[in-house]
């Protein structure tokens, strides 16, 4: 619009020149033409300045558009960051809190189980020591019974030897004495044999008791091994839970850090 006004002004001036030429002399007309030319040049310069200003205004508009676009991106990233923070608050933080509670409960339960297992292991070890003492005592008794059996056999051999001596030609009076001694010896051997038989029965029962004690010992050993395995499993679960908690906390912290860096970059901090 400004350019069109300038052109119309020039045309009007050009149309007015002939009228001025008719009313003035050549010098006056030449002076006026010179002034008009100077004015026209000034108008052209003004037009150039206006055109340059218009171009600058167009560049500023592009800059404004770019800034507006960057601001929209920054707003979008801020919304994403707010969404991430909301997700952390609503999802990850409760999970971390629940996991911390679970780990605390697991640690407490593990401690209680450790205490119980330690007590049971201590009791089992004491029972095993007692069983070993009883086994040793029973083994000594078995050896004693076996030694008595050997002694009975030796007595029987001596009785048989005496009977052979009676069959030899000896004095009848001595033979009667020997017969009486042999009868007495037989009674003693018989009584000893009865005692040995009773002890043998006890030994048989003792062997059953030994087998039962051995079974108890094996059972206690198996229980101790099982408790040790349970203890190792509890330690493993506790370590896994602690590792999971650290991983979740690292993920949460990393997400927040990424969001903050993105927001700072959007605002041109770095």
pLDDT in tens, 135-159: 677 667 766 666 666 766 776 677 6
CA gap 39, 33 in Å, rounded:
10
**Assigned token pair, 127:** 């029972």
Question: Does residue 266 belong to any structural domain of this protein?
Answer: yes
Q: Where among 68, 101, 127 does a domain terminate? A: 68
Give yes or no for a contact between 110 and 232, defined as CB atoms under 8 angstroms apart.
no
Whether 142 and 58 map to the same domain: the answer is: no
Give the number of residues written for the chain. Answer: 270
Residue 9 belongs to domain spanning: 1-68
Same domain, 163 and 239: yes
Distance CA 134, CA 104 (A): 44
- Mean pLDDT across 21-26: 49
Segment 71-103, tens digit of pLDDT: 677 667 667 666 766 666 666 667 666 766 766
CA distances to 62, 137, 203, 209 from 200, rounded to whole Å, are 116, 16, 5, 14
Structure token digits, residue 74: 């920054």
Average pLDDT, the chain: 65
In eight-state DSSP terms, residue 269 is -
Torsion, Cα of 165, 170, 174, 180 (10° steps): 40
C-alpha of 162 from chain center: 86
Q: Are residues 36 and 145 in the same domain?
A: no
Tokens representing 169 are 């030609």
Give the integer Cα–Cα distance in Å for 133 and 127: 10
The CATH number of whichever domain residue 149 belongs to comes to 1.10.287
Do 245 and 103 form a contact (C-beta atoms < 8 A)?
Answer: yes
Q: Any residues with CB less than 8 A from the CB of 163 and at least 6 apart, and which?
A: 182
Asked if 217 contacts 131 with a C-beta cutoff of 8 angstroms, the reply is yes
As for how many domains the chain has, the answer is 2
Q: Would you say residue 49 has pLDDT above 50?
A: yes
pLDDT at position 46: 74
Q: d(Cα 74, Cα 56) in Å, to the nearest integer?
A: 27
Q: What is the Cα–Cα distance from 66 to 184, expressed in whole angstroms?
A: 133
Q: What is the pTM of this model?
A: 0.34
Choose between 65 and 59: higher pLDDT.
65
Q: Is 106 a domain residue?
A: no
Task: Examine residue 74 and state whether it is found in any structural domain, yes or no.
Answer: no
Residues 6+ apart with CB under 8 A from 178: 162, 165, 166, 170
Distances (CA, A) of 241 to 54, 152, 244, 250: 68, 71, 5, 14
**For residue 165, what are its two tokens?**
């001596």
> Same domain for 169 and 257?
yes
- pLDDT tens by residue, 182-217: 677 777 767 766 766 666 666 666 656 666 666 766
Indicate the pLDDT class of residue 20, thresholds 50, 70 and 90.
Answer: very low
Residues 147 and 25 in one domain: no
Cα(13)–Cα(33) distance, rounded to whole angstroms?
Answer: 10
- Residue 116 inside a domain? The answer is yes
């Amino acid at each position: 619009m400004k350019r069109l006004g300038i052109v119309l002004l020039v045309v009007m001036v050009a149309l007015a020149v002939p009228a001025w030429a008719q009313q003035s002399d050549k010098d006056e007309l030449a002076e006026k033409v010179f002034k008009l030319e100077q004015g026209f040049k000034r108008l052209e310069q003004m037009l150039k300045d206006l055109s340059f200003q218009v171009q600058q205004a167009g560049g500023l508009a592009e800059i404004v558009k770019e800034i507006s676009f960057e601001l929209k991106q920054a707003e979008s990233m801020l919304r994403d960051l707010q969404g991430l923070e909301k997700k952390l608050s609503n999802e990850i933080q409760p999970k971390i809190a629940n996991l911390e509670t679970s780990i605390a409960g697991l640690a407490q339960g593990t401690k209680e189980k450790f205490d119980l297992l330690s007590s049971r292991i201590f009791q089992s070890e004491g029972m095993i020591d007692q069983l070993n003492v009883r086994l040793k005592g029973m083994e000594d008794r078995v050896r004693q019974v076996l030694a008595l059996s050997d002694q009975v056999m030796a007595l029987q051999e001596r009785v048989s030897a005496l009977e052979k001596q009676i069959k030899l030609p000896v004095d009848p009076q001595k033979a009667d004495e020997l017969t009486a001694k042999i009868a007495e010896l037989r009674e003693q051997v018989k009584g000893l044999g009865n005692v040995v038989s009773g002890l043998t029965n006890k030994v048989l029962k003792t062997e059953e008791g030994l087998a039962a004690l051995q079974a108890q010992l094996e059972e206690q050993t198996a229980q101790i091994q099982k408790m040790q395995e349970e203890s190792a499993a509890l330690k493993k679960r506790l370590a896994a839970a602690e590792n999971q908690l650290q991983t979740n906390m690292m993920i949460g912290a990393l997400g927040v850090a990424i969001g903050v860096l993105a927001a700072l970059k959007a605002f041109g901090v770095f």
